[in-house]
């Protein structure tokens, strides 16, 4: 499926590089992938990794594309879209946006309207082929195009569909920003282990392997995280003592507030991006 398509990326940063790498690993020919970025440094980084077609001109990159992936920062999405709007209108490709907080109607407006648009929210583990992404499609996206978008994101991890675009801000809060939450917990566990007297390297290795093992158990066991937690929590034991402290500190409420704050910030970014600037 993907091998037969011409795919253009607007933006050549980390996420674009991870997606391009995943696509090539899945059989896409580098010569059928175009990447546009105004930064010579970003173009050099991409070219060093994979010999795709590189350009500083977005319109040139998308002129023969079947799929156009917008992989730019939200604050530059409007000028990036407007700069390629004429070329996109001439070709009418599938448009895939991986920018947080950019609503599909705004992107479609900047591109001139009448387009099949998919929004996706991947996360940084996509750089290792272990990403988690959610996708949403507007009504113009065909069944075949949905399959294409899903295959593109599955080249770097797991991808699933949601049917309500307003939930993309919740996705951003949970999985888009989520790796940082786990990094923070690992950071705190490592520091606490050192505080208990462990050598720093031992504390780090034990923390990282414990996090990896717990995630792998959750993925492969088929059990819910709550069930796995109960299995390793003996009444009156050491784990129960630690979990009691988390409960007394209202960790559940703190996590809920954190994700709500991230979701609300996403909504704010969406409102701000949709405003016409003077």
Range with the poorest average pLDDT among 17-26, 32-41, 184-193: 17-26
Dist. CA 267–CA 246, nearest whole Å? 30
Domain range summary for the chain, segments of one domain joined by +? 2-175, 177-267
Residue 19 pLDDT greater than 60, yes or no? yes
For 135-171, how does the pLDDT look when each residue is reduced to its tens digit (9 = 90+)?
Answer: 999 999 999 999 999 999 999 999 999 999 999 999 9
Q: Is the dihedral of CA 71, 65, 167, 271 positive or negative?
A: positive
Which CATH code is given to the segment(s) 2-175?
A: 3.40.50.720
8 A C-beta contact, residue 92 and residue 115? yes
How many other CB atoms are there within 10 angstroms of residue 53's CB atom?
16
End-to-end CA distance of the chain: 43
For residue 85, the model assigns a pLDDT of: 97
Which CATH code is given to the segment(s) 177-267?
A: 1.10.3730.10
Dist. CA 136–CA 107, nearest whole Å? 14
The predicted model scores a pTM of 0.88
Residue 27 pLDDT greater than 90, yes or no? no
């Amino acid at each position: 499926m993907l091998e037969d398509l011409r795919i253009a990326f607007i933006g050549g940063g980390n996420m674009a590089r991870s997606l391009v790498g995943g696509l090539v690993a899945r059989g896409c020919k580098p010569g059928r992938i175009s990447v546009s970025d105004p930064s010579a440094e970003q173009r050099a980084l991409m070219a060093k990794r994979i010999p795709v077609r590189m350009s500083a001109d977005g319109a040139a990159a998308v002129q023969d594309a079947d799929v156009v992936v917008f992989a730019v920062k939200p604050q530059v999405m409007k000028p990036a879209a407007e700069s390629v709007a004429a070329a996109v209108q001439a070709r009418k490709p599938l448009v895939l946006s991986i920018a947080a907080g950019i609503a599909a109607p705004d992107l479609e407006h900047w591109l001139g309207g009448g387009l099949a648009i998919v929004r996706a929210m991947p996360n940084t583990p996509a750089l290792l082929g272990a990403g988690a992404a959610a996708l949403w499609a507007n009504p113009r996206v065909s069944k075949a195009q949905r399959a294409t978008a899903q295959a593109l994101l599955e080249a770097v991890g797991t991808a699933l569909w949601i049917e309500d675009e307003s939930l993309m801000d919740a996705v951003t809060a949970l999985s888009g920003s989520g790796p940082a939450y786990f990094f923070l917990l690992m950071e705190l566990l490592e520091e606490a282990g050192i505080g208990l007297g462990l050598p720093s390297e031992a504390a780090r290795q034990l923390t990282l392997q414990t996090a990896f093992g717990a995630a792998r158990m959750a993925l492969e066991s088929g059990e819910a995280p709550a069930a796995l937690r109960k299995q390793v929590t003996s009444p009156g034991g050491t784990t129960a003592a630690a979990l009691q402290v988390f409960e007394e500190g209202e960790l559940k409420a703190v996590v809920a507030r954190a994700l709500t704050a991230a979701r609300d910030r996403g909504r704010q970014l969406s409102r701000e991006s949709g405003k016409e600037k003077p």
